[in-house]
Each structure stands twice: as structure tokens, then as C-alpha cells.
Structure 1
Amino acid sequence: MSGWKEILKKEGILEVGDFIIEVSIESECPCKDDSIYPAVLIYDIKNEEVYYLDESFEPVSNFKEALEQVFEWFERYINGEKPLMKRSPKKSAPKEVIHRFMEAIKSLK
């Protein structure tokens, strides 16, 4: 396992470039079906803003399964796929922030 994966697995938080990434799990409430999903918050140190990944995560049973999905998405980003980063449900992260995030993630190779 890569060093960055081990850090996320143990701590749930990873600092890379100008960003602090936090992985957790969340449930939608009111709880219809007891499903929980990976949740990824991204704190932009440079601009002092918080974003989240709005990817099509599948329901998970535990934090380990959540991490596996997050690792898959991060591998996509490392290979050039743009993340769906949002500030709010209707407001995407600025292109400049997404670009900086992608450059930071590529350093995890």
C-alpha cells in the first residue's frame, strides 16, 4: 500500500500540497435505508475554503470500504480525471482550485 493510503487509513486525514483531505463516512438522514457513504472534505489552506467531493460513491458498510472507494477515485485523479469538487450543492469549486488540487494529487504517484 502506498504511503499516502496508509496515512488515510490510519488517520483519516492527509495533507498534500495546499490541501488537507479528510475522509469519513456519513449517513443520509432522515435514515431511509441505513445506508452510509464515503465523505471527502477538502480544505484549501491557500484560500481558507472547504470543498467536498461530489462523486457517485456507492453505499458502504464501514470505513474500510469507504477508503477503498476513495482510493479508487484518487487513482483516477492521479491519472488525469477531474474531480467533482463542490463548495455547496449548487456551486462547484473554482477551476483554479480544481487545477491546484489535481496537481497536488499527482504528487502522490
Structure 2
Amino acid sequence: MSKWKEILKKEGLLEVGDFVIEVSLESECPCKDDSIYPAVLIYDTKNEEVYYLDEPFEPVGNFKEALEQVFEWFERYKNGEKPLMKRSPKKSAPEEVVRRFLEAIKSLE
């Protein structure tokens, strides 16, 4: 397993470029079916702003399953797919932030 994946698995946090990425679990509220989903917060240290990934994550049973989905999405980003980063449900991250995030993710070995 890659070093960055090991760090996320062990700590739930990863620093890469100008970003601190946190992976956790989130339940949908109001709780309609007790499903939990991966939650990915992205702190931009350059602009001191917080964003989140708004990808169509599937329900998971535990943190390990959440990480597997996050790893899959990060691989997509490394291959050029643009992340759905948001500041709030109605406000997307600025293009400049998305571009820097993609560059940071592509640097992961």
C-alpha cells in the first residue's frame, strides 16, 4: 500500500501541498436508514478555507470501506477526473482551489 494511503488509514488525516485532508464517517440526518457514508473534508491552508468532496459515495459499514472508496476517487483524480469540491451545498470551490487540489493529489506516490 502507498505511503499516503497508510497515513490516511492510520491517522485519518493527510497533508499534501497546501491541503490537509480528513476522512471520516458521516450519517445522513435526519437518519432515515442508518446508513453511513465516507466524508472527506479538505482544509486549504493557503486560503484558510474548508471544503468537502460532494462525490456520490456509496453507503459503507466501517472506516475501512470508506477509505477504499476515497482511495478509488483519489485515483480517478490522479487520472485527471475533476473533483466535486464544495464550500457549501450551493457553492462550489473556486476553480483555482480545485486546480491546486488536483495538482496536490497528482503528486501522491
TM-score bin, normalised by smaller chain: over 0.9
Give CA deviations for 1:84-105 in whole Å, capped at 9, x if unaligned.
0000000000000000000000
Matches within 5 A, 1:11-90: 11-90=11-90
Look up the equivalent residue of 1:81 and give its one-letter code. E
SS at match of 1:50: strand
How far apart, CA to CA, are the structure 2 residues paired with 1:99 and 1:41?
16
Q: Distance in 2 between matches of 1:55 and 1:78?
A: 15
Letter in structure 2 aligned against 1:100: R
Deviation at 1:30, TM superposition (A): 1.8
* Displaced runs of 4 or more, over 3 A: none
Q: Secondary structure at the match of 1:23?
A: strand
User: Given the two structures, how large is their TM-score scaled by the length of structure 1?
Assistant: 0.99
User: For residue 83 of structure 1, what is the amino acid of its counterpart?
Assistant: P
TM superposition shift of 1:19: 0.1
Size of the aligned set, in residue pairs, is 109
Deviation for aligned residue 1:31: 1.1
- The whole-number CA distance in structure 2 between the counterparts of 1:27 and 1:108 is 29
Structure-1 residue corresponding to 2:98: 98
Fraction of identical pairs, as percent: 88
Amino acid at match of 2:92: S
Task: State the distance in 1 between where 2:36 and 2:75 align.
Answer: 22
In the aligned structure 2, how far is the partner of 1:33 from the partner of 1:89?
A: 21
Aligned-residue offset at 1:56: 0.2
Q: Deviations over 1:4-37 (max 9, x none)?
A: 0000000000000000000000001221110000
Unpaired segments of 5 or more residues in structure 1?
none
